[in-house]
Structure 1
């Protein structure tokens, strides 16, 4: 049989083991939150990459490494006069920096040019759901343009287009909406 001294020694040992486990877990959580907070701030920074085109003002560019690291995050690019909005998987939320990227489009619309919005989706999964999500993304971009003062009569929404491929680069391309001035 066990004596009361053995029971109390076991309790003390268990208390020390559980205390040590609690300290390790809390240390990992605290370090992880601090480390993740820095990563989140970098990931939340506007991931805008710009290739300047004639008539388009430059938008501040972040590093390509940040854009690659946050490949599933929403971002904006301006390439050859076309503003490209990339969306996170399954979402229709605009990226930070969207307003700055739309400035030249808004100016063009104010000068009387029409704005064409084209949505894209991939061939994987349910085609109807993909097309609907592409439409929601295009409408989110349209709403941002209208909020910036572009009349709805100057905005043309094109039917969502399906793209082929299933690499991570084409996944991002499938989750995009393009805006061009006509």
Structure 2
């Protein structure tokens, strides 16, 4: 009789495990189906969110020349500045801790000045544009972040 009870218990536990597995599979199927397209990696999502909050221009290594793709960002900022006359626009250059600190800070400043001049050329009054002191990145992320200029309309 004990063998019959053991067999019944084994059968019942197997049936419960099968039901649980089916429920989990169904939940996963629903979750995947509702999520739609695959999500971007967290780092890419964070960079996109930061760019939406503060437009950024990324420069080449050891260069203060505006990159070709900067005009799209600068045109959007100039348009926003024209829509918010008198609103201060803060321009911040960034650098990392590698190499000569004085050179890096100067390079970040020249990059910010290049962005400022481009915005002035695009019709943004100089009185709206404010340069911020060059800032050092904290590292650990995308190396491009150390070669950026952020533009924030206050």
Residue in structure 2 matched with residue 147 of structure 1 by the alignment: 121
State the secondary structure of the residue aligned to 2:55.
Answer: strand
Across the aligned residues of Structure 1 and Structure 2, the Cα RMSD in angstroms comes to 2.1
Which consecutive aligned stretches of 4+ in structure 1 deviate over 6 angstroms post-superposition? none
Q: Please give the alpha-carbon distance, in whole angstroms, between the structure 2 residues aligned to 1:176 and 1:79.
A: 11
State the secondary structure of the residue aligned to 1:80.
Answer: helix
Give yes or no for contact 1:92–1:140 (8 Å, CA) kept in 2: yes
Q: Please give the alpha-carbon distance, in whole angstroms, between the structure 1 residues aligned to 2:50 and 2:70.
A: 11
Structure 2 runs not aligned, ≥5 long:
1-48
What TM-score, normalized by structure 1, do the two folds share?
0.53
Counterpart of 2:108 (choices 134, 138, 145) is 134
Aligned length: 105
Counterpart of 1:107 (choices 66, 76, 79) is 79
Larger radius of gyration: 2
What TM-score, normalized by structure 2, do the two folds share?
0.62
Give yes or no for contact 2:65–2:111 (8 Å, CA) kept in 1: yes
Q: CA deviation at 1:176?
A: 0.5
Give yes or no for contact 2:81–2:124 (8 Å, CA) kept in 1: yes
